[in-house]
Amino acid sequence: MSRLSFAAGALLALCCGGTIAQTAAEGIERYRQMIAEGNPAELFEAKGEDIWKQKRGPKRASLEQCDLGLGPGVVAGAYAQLPRYFKDADRVMDLETRLVHCMVTLQGISDADAKRNPYSTPERPSDMESLVSFVTAESKGVKMNVALSHQKEREMYQIGEKMFYYRGGPHDFSCATCHGEDAKRIRLQDLPNLTNTKDAQRAYTTWPAYRVSQGTVRTFQWRLFDCFRQQRFPALEFTSDASIALTTFLAKNANGGTLAAPALKR
């Protein structure tokens, strides 16, 4: 039984009861390494692949013909070039928005139904989280490459940049308040300085991620949604232009970083 290790309980005990001199950041880093090989995101990737191939909706169609930017059905490497402008929708789209678009156009699911359950709860799993896990995993090891070759993409980037530095809400917070300087943290979580390329790459390329504390894979839309909540901003609407603008800004700034998503986070 000595070789047994259970994900949360035993590993936490190991990391925190071990060397006393270890700093919290080192402890968390070691904990991440220990469970990286057993990342439960893999369960979501497998489930997402099933959902991708299933015939669903009124049109009884799968998502296998969904064009994520590299042509219908091409999944590998697609996430590294999102968000991008899609001519068929005349709109800049991130991955989640494009998946909703494909569910509506290919499967005949209503827009409202496709957007109904983006963030799971323990009682209610989310297909979106599984689909996003599958698609992003197909870009593992690929370098981020958001081109901004279309005028609308450049506009989105500029709006995203404005939003990043825009201060508002009851706390007068901007994204940059927490993510504009080195060595900031919330409780024990080190916050990336997103104005510095290395941090920006590391942060963006490790989302989506399986959150051990929440027992599920969270998407990039969720990351921004929860940042807005922590800032006490109005709720960020799923697949809104605002969410896509901010994603475009952050994704472009991570260009050159190697995708490692879905990663594992505490």
Active-site residue list: 227
Pick left, alpha or beta for residue 73 (phi over 0 → left; psi -120 to 50 → alpha; otherwise beta).
left
Q: What x-and-dash track marks residues 105-124 binding other proteins by CB under 8 A? A: -----------------xx-
Among 72, 73, 169, 215, binds other proteins (CB under 8 A): 215
Size of the site for other proteins (CB under 8 A): 21
Do 197 and 255 form a contact (C-beta atoms < 8 A)? no
Do 260 and 205 form a contact (C-beta atoms < 8 A)? yes
Under rule CB under 8 A, which residues in 43-72 are in contact with other proteins? Answer: 43, 46-47
Nearest distance from C-beta of residue 216 to other proteins, angstroms: 8
**Using CA atoms, how far apart are residues 117 and 233, in angstroms rounded to an integer?**
21
Q: Which is nearer to other proteins, 39 or 247 (CB)?
A: 39
Nearest distance from C-beta of residue 169 to other proteins, angstroms: 26
Among 17, 20, 21, 37, binds other proteins (CB under 8 A): 37
Q: What x-and-dash track marks residues 6-25 binding other proteins by CB under 8 A? A: xxxx----------------
Among 25, 33, 38, 166, binds other proteins (CB under 8 A): 38
The DSSP line for 141-208 is TPBP-----SHHHHHHHHHHHHHHH--BTTTTB-HHHHHSSTTEEETTEEEP-TTSHHHHHHHHHT-S
For 227-244, give one letter per residue: b (16+ CB within 10 A) or e.
bbeebebeebebbeebbb
The answer to whether residue 212 forms part of the interface with other proteins (CB under 8 A) is yes
Under the rule (CB under 8 A), what is the footprint of other proteins?
1, 3-9, 35, 37-40, 42-43, 46-47, 122-123, 212, 215
